[in-house]
Structure formats: structure tokens, C-alpha cells
Amino acid sequence: MPRAPSEAGFTLIELLVALAIFSLAVLALLNLAGENTRAGGRLADRVLAEVVLDNRAVEAMASATPPAIGRSSGIEAAGGRAWAWTRQVSRTADPAIVRVDIAVAAPRSSAPLAWASLFRGAR
């Protein structure tokens, strides 16, 4: 039945289309909010891993004697969590310098969240 010219408002189809468009926009915003939350968690993990990395680097560089050649590892607490670190000390072409590679990962993860290579005197 056609509408009379004096009637104002939307048809049921128009309302359903508008509701569908609105729901798509809301879903997109919810997805964006979820991604931001996940990214924030990953960023916090990386920052804490960097703190542990900095602690290990300061220890390796500030000690009176250089770290022993070879691999060492341990667990350090930061931010209420445990972090696994590994340190590989190797010789370089210059006998007066050693290379110190440090990597930090979550304890049950093999992928490091932070890593660095340092050089220090061998004496």
C-alpha cells in the first residue's frame, strides 16, 4: 500500500538496513578495541623483557672481570613475572675484546622478546 504524502517516517526495510550498517560499525569498533588491548599486553611484555635485558647487560659490562667464555642462563623476576635469559660470551678477532649476546624470553617461550649484542674488554 503506497504511503500518503503526509505520512513521515521510515519503512521497515529502511530501518533494517540502517540497523545492519550500525551493527557493522559497532563490530569494527569492538574489533579495534580488542586489537588495542592485545597490542598493549605485547608492549608491556617487551618493556619488561627490555628491563631484564638491561639488568643483564649492566652486570656483564660493569663487573670487574669479564664474563666467562661460553653460555649461561637464568631466571630473573620483573613485573611480578619470571623471565628466562641466556647469555653467550664468545671471543672476537681481537683477543682484547669479547662479544656478549643476551636474549630474554618468557619462561615457556623459545622466541626472545628482547636481545642485544655487546662488546667489552676481555681483561
Which CATH number goes with the domain that contains 20? 3.30.1300.30
Do the domain assignments include residue 48?
A: yes
Predicted TM-score of the model (pTM): 0.70
Please list the residues that pair with 121 across neighbouring strands: 97
60 found inside a domain: yes
Locus of grid cell 642462563: 73
Please give the tally of structural domains in the chain: 1
- Is 78 domain-assigned? yes
With CA atoms as reference, report the closest residue to 108 among 45, 50, 35.
45
Task: State which residues form the domain around 29.
Answer: 12-121
Residue 102 lies in a domain: yes
The string of pLDDT tens digits covering residues 60-94 is: 999 999 899 999 999 999 989 999 999 999 999 99
Quote the CA–CA distance of 108 and 103 in Å, as a whole number.
Answer: 14
Q: How far apart are the first and last CA of the chain?
A: 96
* Residue 6 located in a structural domain: no
**Is there a domain that residue 55 lies in?**
yes
pLDDT at 5: 62
Separation of alpha carbons 65 and 84, rounded Å: 23
pLDDT exceeds 80 at position 1: no
